[in-house]
Amino acid sequence: MLQFTDDYLTGIPEIDKEHKQLFAMLEQTNKEVLQGADIRTTGMRLLNDLKDYAASHFAHEEAYMESIDDPELPRQRKAHKAFIDRMENTNFIGMPDDTMRQAVTDLLDYMSRWLMHHILGSDTLIGKTQSPFAFTDKYKTGIELVDSEHRKLFDIMGRVNALIHNENLYDRFDEIVELINELKDYTQFHFTDEERLMEEYHYSGLAAQKKAHQGFIDELDKIDLDSVDENQEAYLEDLLEYLLNWLSGHILGMDKKIRDER
């Protein structure tokens, strides 16, 4: 039976604690099976405990990953859903004892394999993969106001990404409209602030900046809400790619030059 070792530590206390509890649950069940305990009682308890565990632990894990904007969250959600589906499709009711004993043994084997691959291949990477929507030092211009507003734009993009991968949200239209309107309003607000600062600095690249800003605003104005409603996921993915490429390229290629003429 699989044992919890330091190899399975994620470095996140709550997650590690819950993983240890799961290992202990499986070890106890395996011991009862080997000792010939009533298989019906043991098997039903294991299945119910696994369902309860999945509901609470996966929620905690996904909430933590969302709080740190972990880019692996969509992949984790998919793996978690597959596990939950497996538990929901497992049914011991009506099985003869011998058949049930084998089914419980098979479930324990499945859990051992699943845990090994999932924890080592996914959970130990939580917090160690940087999100493309993270506002990192490379984007800092050294101008506090500009950096603060750029951070907000990256935050909006991160929310677009979360919206794309929200499997519980069937119809995203209202949220998409709200997000697009927020993006338009905040972009106008930011460009006004940025251009005012460049005027104060007598920045030589102001005209080029204004042209780039207006081009971006024109693209936002072209967003067709009817197209959004017809094919939400595809439209959002295209929008997100455009936002990320434009903003990162604009900051690195143009905005970081502003500080040189302050």
- CB-based burial, 60-80: b 16+ in 10 Å, e otherwise: ebeebbeeebbbbbbebbebb
| Bigger pLDDT: 164 vs 120 | 120
What letter represents residue 216's amino acid? F
pLDDT of residue 261 exceeding 90: no
CA 245 to chain centre: 20
User: To the nearest 5 percent, what fractions of the chain are helix, strand and coil?
Assistant: 75, 0, 25
Task: Give the pLDDT confidence score for residue 1 in this predicted structure.
Answer: 64
Task: Give the pLDDT confidence score for residue 171 in this predicted structure.
Answer: 66
171 φ, ψ (degrees, to nearest 5)? -110, 110
Cα dihedral sign, 223-227-233-234: negative
Least confident of 93-97, 131-135, 224-228: 224-228
pLDDT of residue 2 exceeding 80: no
Give the whole-number percent of the chain exceeding pLDDT 70.
94
Give the CA radius of gyration of the chain. 25
Q: pLDDT (tens digit, 9 = 90+) per residue, 62-92?
A: 999 999 888 888 888 988 999 999 999 999 9
Q: pLDDT (tens digit, 9 = 90+) per residue, 216-248?
A: 999 888 887 776 666 667 777 787 888 888 998
What are the structural domains of the chain? 6-125 (1.20.120.50), 137-261 (1.20.120.50)
pLDDT of residue 108 exceeding 90: yes
Residue range 44-60: mean pLDDT, rounded: 94
Task: Give the pLDDT confidence score for residue 121 in this predicted structure.
Answer: 85
pTM: 0.56
The two structure tokens encoding residue 33: 């099976």
The two structure tokens encoding residue 123: 């959970």
CA distance 97 to 85: 24
Residue range 160-184: mean pLDDT, rounded: 76
Least confident of 38-47, 75-84, 199-208: 75-84
CA distance 41 to 25: 14
pLDDT of residue 169 exceeding 60: no
Average pLDDT of the chain? 88
